[in-house]
Amino acid sequence: MKKIYLCANAKTVKNVYATDDTVYTKEEVLSEPEKFKATEYVFSTWGMPAFTEEEIKRCLPSLKAVFYGAGTVQAFARPFLNCGVKVFSAWAANAVPVAEYTVAQIVLANKGFFSSSRIAKTGDRKAASQCFHSYPGNYNVKIGIIGAGMIGKLVIKMLKNYNLEVLVFDPFLPDEKAVELDVKKVSLEILFKECQVVSNHLANNEQTKGMLDGRLFESMLPFATFINTGRGAQVVEADLIDTLKSRPDLTALLDVTYPEPPESDSELYTLPNCILTPHIAGSAGNEVRRMGEYMKAEYANYTSGKPCRYEVTLKMLETMA
């Protein structure tokens, strides 16, 4: 049995025989396919090189499975799956910090933290206090979750520690699952009109691009907050910018944009009610170890014939982030 490790960002392949740590670029793999004919397992993380089906068949004919120690596999998984190679992802592990980050922002948003702190820095304590009192706090308030996938469900579960009502838009969420999660399924229009905070966790595909537009943002409650830790392409950013300019009471917390980062002349940089973070919701620091542990356990289960928890299928890719 032979394994290779596809290294993050460098787009290289590490060919491992016991203690051998030789590193190969993807180009070297393609030019010397004989070296990888016996490879059965690939372990990877961010920066996973994309291979075509022809390249997989030529260079990795013995490959059984890819264990991806990160979140989305949309950029590389289909050719492997089409070749009969199983793909496993640590998306469940990566969902944890994203959900924690989102819940923290929801709690702060309901307290008016982002708006009142901005005003407080000007030295106008009275105006900052007035701003704070415009927000409802975290009791008996509606929170809107767009997309109840792995991350959305985890956010919902974490919010159970608060006295908040959760509304969900997700056409793929079965009614019985909504009951189990104790959430109310609604349309996007109702979600935006009734929720104090709206958090986006939609899957990233052609159907969701541009789904969140000006008519939705304009309908938001006074002093409402929009959070995006999903993908920027789902937001019509020109519409969001226009709404933030005409509705200074609203706040947008954007961890993702489209393009990412925004263009240098984007008004997202200058709008006082728009807060940008550089795609930090996912795993970082010690959190990265959790993703590796998930894939280590998944490999052990797979090779010992035990049930696996995090296999990705072609069907799942239709709705996964």
Tally of domains in the chain:
2
Q: Tell me, what's the pLDDT at 320?
A: 78
CATH code, domain with 83: 3.40.50.720
Do residues 118 and 222 share a domain?
yes
Contact residues for 286 (Cβ-Cβ < 8 A; gap 6+): none
Rounded Cα–Cα distance for residues 119 and 206 (Å): 39
Please report, in angstroms and rounded to a whole number, the separation of the first and last CA atoms in the chain: 32
CA–CA dist 189, 211 (Å, integer): 11
* Residue 49 and residue 6 share a domain: yes
pTM for the whole thing?
0.86
Q: What is the pLDDT of residue 206?
A: 86
Cα(57)–Cα(312) distance, integer angstroms: 20
- Does 184 share its domain with 83? no
Taking only the tens of pLDDT, the chain with its 321 residues reads 555 555 433 344 444 443 345 656 788 889 999 989 988 998 888 888 899 999 999 999 999 999 999 998 999 999 999 999 999 999 999 999 999 999 999 999 999 999 999 999 999 999 999 999 999 999 999 999 999 999 999 999 999 999 999 999 999 999 999 999 999 999 999 999 999 999 999 988 888 999 999 999 999 999 999 999 999 999 999 999 999 999 999 999 999 999 999 999 999 999 999 999 999 999 999 999 999 999 999 999 999 999 999 999 999 988 777
Do 304 and 188 share a domain, yes or no?
no
Q: Which domain range does residue 136 map to? A: 94-276
